[in-house]
Amino acid sequence: MSTDSETSAAAKPSSWRGQAVQLVAIVMAVFVAKGALAEPFYVPSGSMEPTLLIGDALLASKYPYGYGAASLPIQITLPETGRVFGETPKRGDVVVFRWPGDRSQAWVKRVVGLPGDRIQMRQGQLFINDHAATLKPDGLGEAEDDSGGSERAYRYIETLPNGVTHAIFKMRDNGQLDNTPEVTVPPGKLFVLGDNRDNSADSRVAVRDGGVGLLPIDNLVGRADAVVGSWDMGLRSQPVWTWLSGFRLARFFTAVN
């Protein structure tokens, strides 16, 4: 005849095994969700202002462009074998991708050129296949830099030839990247720009110079669909008790356009 203490002792290993199995299942579910559905990312720079601000937390959906090595929630070196269920982004999509210069880094930019497109900047205006993206003045804004300072910027509403509209910043005329040679986007590549046109190392800048160059589609992680949280990084130098005021509640759970 067994005693109560013997029954309790026998039950403990089974209970611990059950909890361990549950924990592993939860970890695997999170891993699969991050790998297959969506993954959070943090915006560390102002290259996508005014669309995205320093301190925004993004949710990137992975399914729109299919899956490849860049889609994994952990970065390991794998041979490039293309993408499963691969789809080409649309012009105007805001995408998260692995920077070609260091695939451990996730960057975010806007797609403006697809394979076969001819892309050129002329006096600060984007041309796609000789069609100008129209610019409509939209007042003034403040472009924040990585150190928490700000600079006055001219705000425009840019309309791409396919009808997609979004806001951009221009801080100066005839900037360093306002006039570029025409580039034909090759197969398997994309041309991406930051919305802060005078402060973005994008496809106008070669990888060797710290830019993106022509972005391989295989480097795509996903489409930036929503800002799920935001905090003003400029408050880092302020007393801790002021930090709560830095939450930009109006940006929580807003769509990325």
Active site residue 109: yes
- Residue 142: in which H helix or E strand, if any? strand 134-144
Tell me, what amino acid is at 198? D
> Which of these is catalytic: 45, 62, 71, 109?
109
**Model confidence at 31: pLDDT above 80:** no
| Kind and range of the H or E run holding 159 | strand 150-159
3-state secondary structure of 73: coil
**Mean pLDDT in residue range 22-31:** 44
Mean pLDDT of 40-57: 92
pLDDT tens-digit series, residues 147-199: 667 889 999 999 999 999 999 999 988 888 999 999 999 999 999 999 999 99
Q: Are 230 and 144 in contact (CB under 8 A)?
A: no
Query: Residue 17 belongs to what H/E stretch?
Result: helix 4-36
Taking the C-alpha atoms of residue 241 and residue 167, their distance in angstroms, rounded to an integer, is 34
pLDDT tens column, 210-225:
999 999 999 999 999 9
Look at 2-6, 131-135, 212-216 and tell me which has the smallest mean pLDDT. Answer: 2-6
Q: Verify whether residue 47 is a known catalytic residue.
A: yes
pLDDT at residue number 28: 41
Buried b (16+ CB within 10 A) or exposed e, 111-139: bbbbeebebbbeebbbbbeeeebebeeee
Where do the domains of the chain lie? 1-36, 37-255
Tokens of 178: 């306002």
Q: What is the mean pLDDT of residues 110-129?
A: 97
SS3 content of the chain, % helix, strand, coil (to 5): 25, 35, 40
pLDDT band of 204, cuts 50, 70, 90: very high
pLDDT > 90? residue 77: no
Residue 240 pLDDT: 73
User: pLDDT exceeding 90 applies to what percent of the chain?
Assistant: 60
Least confident of 77-91, 130-144, 151-165: 77-91
In whole numbers, what is the pLDDT of the chain averaged over residues? 83
Fold observed for domain 37-255: Umud Fragment, subunit A (2.10.109)
Confidence of residue 3 (pLDDT cuts 50, 70, 90): very low
Catalytic residue among 45, 47, 200, 203: 47
